[in-house]
Amino acid sequence: MNPKLIIDATDFAAALLFILGLKRMSSPLTARSGIVVAGWGVLVATLASFLEAFGVTADAQPHLGTNLALGVIALVVGVGWAWWSGKRVPMTAMPQMVALYNGMGGGAAACIAAVELSSPLPSPGSKLAIALVGALIGAASLSGSLTAWAKLDGRINRAFHAKGQQYANGIVLAATIFVGIDIISGGAPTPALTAAFFIGALAYGVLMTLPIGGADMPVVVSLYNAFTGIAVGIEGYVLQKPVLVIAGVVVGAAGTLLTLVMARAMNRSVSNVIFSRFGAASSGPGREIAGAMKPAEASDAAVSMRYAGKVIIIPGYGLAVAQAQYKLYEFVKLLQAAGVEVKFAVHPVAGRMPGHMDVLLAEAGVPYDMMHELDEINEEFSTADVALVIGANDVVNPAARTDKTSPIYGMPILNADHAHQVYVIKRGQGKGYSGVENELFFADNCAMVYGDAQAVLVKFIAALKELGAAA
């Protein structure tokens, strides 16, 4: 059989597996199998690369030893690190892990362009230009994703703002593009120009991400996912590898759509997320809030929910931090056994990455048909006896609907305040990621159950079991 035909058939199979896997990831019911299918696609694509390294195609023969050694080293390091980190990473650190993997993909695309630039026989000008575009996007995605990881991991604890910052970022980007044009027009790139180009691209990724606040990190993570896909697709064209083009385009398109959905969930444009501080367009810090937060005992809240007809639970990052999803579902099953209707309301930007809360609840075994998105459940809060908010803040703040001076005004929220009674599990009286005081916490129908989410839920469970034993 024609060796080239073997490679093409393997690439085609890998591309089909990527597309099928991503399609299945679009639904929580099939997401796990989608990851497995896409993983097989990666394995097939890797096999195709090794077939080339082993010299199945004639042009790979002169580089057999070098390609094979580099491939084996990359495979061992990559699989080893992924296996080790995947086993150890807690759910609370999953956003950091996603950011790192995004960055690695962008960095790989940039490395492909670096090889093209260092080649003794450089590509034609048009192909080199395309490679440089992919390098710019990939390198910026690498450094930007690493910066996002540092923010999510608490290694960078604040956003950095300075007067004229966006102009400075624009100058760095323009200078990098100018160096790229000089490389294209100069024929054989010099090491100095190549280094300057990549330094500029990496610097721009850092500078673009540093000013962005923590509340915008879900959008930023999905944006860099789109960047990585686009960069991989571009470099796949440079290498004439259809499997990379298809995988990159599919991931880039999915990441772009997800970014737009996340931004819409915050009632903001993507450009506003990237180029403005959270709430920069608002006219003030928000109105003064009258009243005080009212504490409640965990046992009283649990008994109230036990005798409710309908309870809607709103999970937030505090649930993930406490690793309390298992105790939460144990509590929910006790409520259901008592005849209480229970639903979960999941806001698109709850947590630190897209789908964070869905994955967290699914990990504990919560059925997917109990999880409802904002649009489909918001009208049901007015018929709920109790809304239970666990570690969420900005996504339930009524100021987003009513206070035009609030930084989060216009952001779609879950209507928890429309429930007859609201209980909020919170470790303290701090504000959310946006730094805005939550009006819900001061409402007449809201009570605060202070404490770590897992500890509070243990008390909830004990109260229901004691109530059942007494009956």
What pLDDT, on a 0 to 100 scale, did the predictor assign at position 29?
72
Q: What is the pLDDT of residue 279?
A: 43
How far apart are alpha carbons 55 and 47 in whole angstroms? 13
pLDDT of amino acid 216: 75
pLDDT of residue 265: 75
3-state secondary structure 414-451: CCHHHCCEEEEEECCCCCCCCCCCCHHHHCCCEEEEEC
**In this predicted structure, what is the pLDDT of residue 5?**
77
Residues carrying CATH 3.40.50.1220, the chain: 298-470
Radius of gyration of the chain (CA): 25
Report CA 437 to chain centroid distance, whole Å: 25
Task: Return the ∠ at Cα 469 (arms to 464 and 471), rounded to 5°.
Answer: 95
Active site (catalytic) residues:
394
Q: Residue 357's closest CA among 384, 399, 312, 390? A: 390
Nearest alpha-carbon partner for 10 in 49, 39, 37, 38: 49
Q: In this predicted structure, what is the pLDDT of residue 53?
A: 60
pLDDT at 280: 44
Query: Would you write out the chain's pLDDT as a tens digit for each of its 471 residues?
Result: 566 777 778 888 888 998 898 888 877 678 788 889 989 998 888 887 777 666 555 454 555 566 677 778 888 888 898 888 888 887 667 778 888 888 999 999 999 888 877 776 555 667 788 889 999 999 999 999 999 898 888 788 766 777 788 888 899 999 999 999 988 887 667 888 899 999 999 999 999 998 887 667 778 888 899 999 999 999 888 888 888 888 899 889 888 888 888 787 777 777 777 776 544 444 445 566 767 899 999 999 999 999 999 999 999 988 988 989 999 999 999 999 999 999 999 998 887 776 788 888 988 999 989 999 998 999 999 999 999 999 888 899 998 888 888 877 888 899 999 999 999 999 877 666 656 788 999 999 999 999 999 999 999 999 999 987 665
Nearest CA-CA partner of 416 in 434, 438, 432, 437: 438
Structure tokens at 273: 């997320």
* 324 close to 454: Cβ distance less than 8 angstroms: yes
> What integer pLDDT is reported at residue 120 of this predicted model?
61
Across the beta sheet with 371-373, the strand order is 371-373, 341-346, 310-315, 386-390, 421-426, 446-450
298-470: in CATH 3.40.50.1220: yes
